[in-house]
């Protein structure tokens, strides 16, 4: 029977139908857990999705509903059980994993996330920012060891060179005495390919950073799912 346009629109491939390199468990096995996004890690915990919604989309929906990993960590058993597709068993698995994470952090409170690659930067924000329907520009503040001191939201709306002011972008780093930053913003279209505006912004921020003695280490564009592009890797705006 021929599918209707609505059926085609809502069709999502099962995880087993994805190429092996895109399956969360295989990616964890091949690259290690630190290279997976929050969405992928939660998908591994949940294991299965629903008819018409694979487990990666379900994990992304949960993160969006609860405003990211922090909000998910504050959710109650009843709130999670009220979500479509979450059985009591899945909720128990999810809450147990979140509690283990909290206990681990309490054992080593001095440890901070360290950025060693564009993937590390993307992983910190991807689960939340990939679901935004507007552009958001955020700044990751780093110390001399590339440990994350904080993440600041700078703009919501159109991110273009006429709107983005270097003073606003670097203000949190000046205030917190951070020697370097990474800029991240999302493309609501889902395509992380940098635009010419993105390149122009990067070039302007690199120049401003040199004057302020604050290094712009990268500008990462977040797309849908686990897609992102590092402008530094592409040498766009960095020369």
Tell me the pLDDT of the chain averaged across its residues: 85
For residues 126 and 166, which has the higher predicted lDDT (pLDDT)? 166
pLDDT tens digits, one per residue of 36-71: 888 889 999 998 888 888 888 899 899 889 888 778
**Whole-angstrom distance, CA of residue 120 vs CA of residue 76:** 29
Residue 5: Cβ-neighbour burial (10 angstroms; 0-12, 13-18, 19+): exposed
| Distance from the Cα of residue 117 to its chain's centroid | 14
The answer to whether residue 220 scores a pLDDT higher than 90 is yes
pLDDT tens digits, one per residue of 86-139: 999 999 999 999 888 777 655 554 567 889 999 999 988 887 888 788 899 999
**Whole-angstrom distance, CA of residue 64 vs CA of residue 33:** 21
The answer to whether 44 and 54 are in contact (CB under 8 A) is no
Residue 179 pLDDT grade (very low, low, confident, very high; cuts 50, 70, 90):
very high
**Whole-angstrom distance, CA of residue 113 vs CA of residue 150:** 10
The answer to whether residue 12 scores a pLDDT higher than 50 is yes
The answer to whether residue 207 scores a pLDDT higher than 50 is yes
Sorted by sequence, the CB contacts under 8 Å of residue 160 that are 6+ apart come out as 197, 201
Question: Which residue has tokens 């002011």?
Answer: 165
**Whole-angstrom distance, CA of residue 73 vs CA of residue 94:** 9
Residue closest to 55 by CA, chosen among 222, 223, 225, 192? 225
- What are the structural domain ranges in the chain? 5-107, 118-230
| pLDDT given at position 142 | 95
The answer to whether residue 217 scores a pLDDT higher than 50 is yes
Sorted by sequence, the CB contacts under 8 Å of residue 226 that are 6+ apart come out as 22, 37, 39, 40, 122, 126, 130
The answer to whether residue 228 scores a pLDDT higher than 80 is yes
Mean pLDDT of 186-192: 93
| pLDDT given at position 110 | 54
The answer to whether residue 2 scores a pLDDT higher than 60 is no
The answer to whether 233 and 118 are in contact (CB under 8 A) is yes
Q: What are residue 141's phi and psi, to 5 degrees?
A: -95, 130
Which one of 3.40.50.300, 3.40.190.10, 3.40.140.10, 3.40.50.10140 gives the CATH number of domain 118-230? 3.40.140.10
pTM: 0.60
């Amino acid at each position: 029977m021929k599918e209707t346009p609505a059926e085609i629109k809502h069709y999502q491939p099962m995880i087993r139908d994805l190429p092996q390199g895109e399956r969360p468990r295989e990616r964890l096995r091949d690259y290690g857990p630190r290279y997976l996004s929050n969405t992928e890690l939660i998908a591994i915990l949940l294991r299965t999705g629903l008819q018409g919604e694979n487990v990666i989309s379900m994990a992304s929906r949960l993160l969006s509903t609860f405003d990211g990993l922090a909000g998910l960590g504050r959710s109650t058993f009843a709130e999670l059980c009220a979500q479509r597709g979450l059985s009591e068993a899945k909720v128990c698995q999810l809450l147990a994993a979140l509690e283990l994470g909290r206990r681990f952090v309490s054992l080593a409170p001095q440890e901070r996330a360290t950025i060693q690659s564009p993937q590390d930067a993307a992983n910190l924000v991807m689960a939340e920012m990939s679901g935004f329907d507007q552009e958001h520009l955020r700044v990751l503040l780093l110390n001399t060891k590339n440990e994350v001191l904080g993440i600041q939201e700078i703009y919501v709306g159109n991110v273009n060179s006429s709107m983005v002011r270097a003073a606003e972008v670097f203000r949190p780093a000046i205030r917190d005495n951070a020697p370097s930053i990474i800029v991240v913003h999302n493309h609501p279209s889902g395509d992380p390919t940098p635009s010419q505006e993105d390149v122009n912004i990067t070039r302007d921020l690199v120049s401003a950073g040199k004057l302020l003695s604050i290094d712009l280490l990268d500008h990462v564009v977040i797309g849908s799912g686990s897609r992102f592009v590092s402008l530094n890797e592409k040498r766009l705006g960095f020369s």
